[in-house]
């Protein structure tokens, strides 16, 4: 068997041994199937291909110092995928089936779970697809739920280091009453042009403003935004932001650290006041923000004054990672140990 170099892993796809699949047909979910195929076969008229009947999740399994494998907040991902399915009229995957499939995929690929020392983890990608031979716009008659896993290193190659983000007013990711609150591929398609532009210009993500007024901070690329000032953790309230489980966890940890937590509209002008800011999500936990350039208004908000991550960002990051790897107690029952 080929030996993986854990330390050089990026955030990309690496083949593993097995994936787990389950079909919804004739009004019910079938048995979980184990597959070693990396491809799927479907009818060319499948609704996931034409009308975006697709939803996904992303969560991680971590190997601890004690050798135990922990999956972080699997119940939250299961519930969010139910909401995503309902949001594009797909058959939701029951929570139990979701959890069972993820755990099975992790166990079957145990040899790909990076060791504790590497700082890497096993990324779990559940995917729900509408199937069927159809050209009319209506929900699919059949669904495929699939879970694959892949070992990943840290999301940002540069490590825990602040990076610049860009505001580009010519693009919206999601409409105020659209699908921004659910994890569907269509949101990523809508954000692809500004994402690529931002990367080309040397930014790590595009910071979207609310689509209606272009006044408030919305989603930060594929992550949630938060800012810190006056001992307060502030994250935007919006009808087009995907509720990040990482953000929800950081809000709790911020309270534990004695900070106030506010979820409310965050006007762009407030960026000038933040002592620290970051983007948060499963992939990176926290990506600290160096500066934010509003490219159309020719404004710059310098967040990190010395090019380093802020103290609170660093502590939040360390506290969350410690729970994920089992270095500290798990006071909120966030972790599922894979037996
Ligand atoms: C997945 C995702 C996030 C992060 O959510 P986590 O649950 O923290 O991984 C944030 N924004 C968008 C648009 C996402 O798709």
Phi (first) and psi of residue 208, to 5 degrees: -80, 145
CATH assignment at residue 96 = 3.30.470.10
Please give the positions annotated as active site.
183
Domain end point (choices 93, 117, 152):
152
CATH assignment at residue 260 = 3.20.10.10
> Atom 13 of ligand 1 has which residue's CA nearest to it?
222
Q: What is the mean pLDDT of residues 15-27?
A: 97
Residue 244 has pLDDT above 80, yes or no: yes
Domain end point (choices 152, 171, 190):
152
pLDDT at 338: 97
- In terms of Cα–Cα distance, which of 140, 120, 121, 119 is closest to 130? 140
Q: Residue 144: CB partners within 8 Å, gap ≥ 6?
A: 21, 22, 23, 24, 40, 42, 128, 129, 131
Number of domains in the chain: 2
Q: Ligand 1 centroid vs 274 CA: distance in angstroms?
A: 22
Same domain membership, residue 212 and residue 186:
yes
Residue 154 has pLDDT above 80, yes or no: no
In the chain, what percentage of residues exceed pLDDT 90?
92
45-74 tens-digit pLDDT: 999 999 999 999 999 999 999 999 999 999
The answer to whether the CB of 118 is under 6 A from ligand 1 is no
The answer to whether the CB of 185 is under 6 A from ligand 1 is no
286-338 tens-digit pLDDT: 999 999 999 999 999 999 999 999 999 999 999 999 999 999 999 999 999 99
The answer to whether the CB of 320 is under 6 A from ligand 1 is no
Same domain membership, residue 307 and residue 196:
yes
Q: Ligand 1 centroid vs 69 CA: distance in angstroms?
A: 22
Same domain membership, residue 119 and residue 70:
yes
| Cα–Cα dist 14/302, whole Å | 37
**Considering the domain boundaries, does residue 113 fall inside one?**
yes
Residue 155 has pLDDT above 80, yes or no: no
Q: How confident is the model at residue 158 (pLDDT cuts 50, 70, 90)?
A: low
pLDDT at 213: 97
Nearest ligand 1 atom to the CA of 183 is 15
Q: What is the mean pLDDT of residues 178-193?
A: 97
Range of the domain at 52: 19-152
């Amino acid at each position: 068997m080929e030996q993986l170099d854990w330390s050089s892993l990026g955030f990309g796809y690496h083949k593993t041994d097995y994936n787990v699949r389950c079909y919804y047909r004739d009004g019910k979910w079938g048995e979980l199937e184990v597959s070693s195929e990396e491809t799927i076969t479907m009818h060319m008229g499948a609704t996931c291909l034409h009308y975006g009947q697709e939803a996904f999740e992303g969560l991680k399994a971590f190997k601890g110092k004690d050798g135990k494998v922990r999956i972080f907040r699997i119940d939250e991902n299961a519930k969010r995928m139910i909401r995503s399915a309902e949001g594009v009229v797909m058959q939701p995957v029951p929570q139990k089936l979701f959890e069972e499939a993820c755990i099975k995929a992790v166990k079957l690929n145990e040899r790909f779970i990076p060791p504790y020392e590497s700082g890497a983890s096993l990324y779990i990608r559940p995917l729900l697809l509408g199937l069927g031979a159809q050209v009319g716009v209506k929900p699919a008659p059949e669904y495929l739920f699939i879970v694959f896993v892949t070992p990943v290193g840290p999301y940002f190659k540069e490590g825990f280091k602040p990076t610049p983000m860009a505001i580009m007013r010519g693009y919206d990711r999601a409409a105020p009453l659209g699908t921004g609150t659910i994890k569907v591929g269509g949101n990523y398609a809508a954000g692809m042009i500004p994402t690529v532009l931002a990367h080309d210009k040397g930014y790590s993500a595009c910071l979207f403003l609310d689509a209606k007024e272009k006044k408030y901070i919305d989603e930060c690329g594929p992550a949630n935004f938060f800012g810190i000032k006056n001992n307060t953790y502030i994250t935007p309230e919006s009808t087009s932001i995907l509720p990040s489980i990482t953000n929800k966890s950081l809000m709790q940890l911020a309270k534990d650290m004695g900070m106030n937590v506010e979820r409310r509209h965050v006007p762009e002008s407030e960026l000038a006041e933040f002592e620290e800011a970051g983007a948060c999500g499963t992939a990176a936990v926290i990506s600290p923000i160096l500066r934010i350039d509003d490219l159309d208004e020719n404004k710059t908000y310098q967040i990190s004054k010395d090019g380093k991550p802020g103290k609170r960002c660093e502590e939040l990051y360390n506290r969350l990672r410690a729970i994920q790897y089992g270095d500290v107690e798990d006071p909120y029952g966030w972790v599922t140990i894979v037996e």
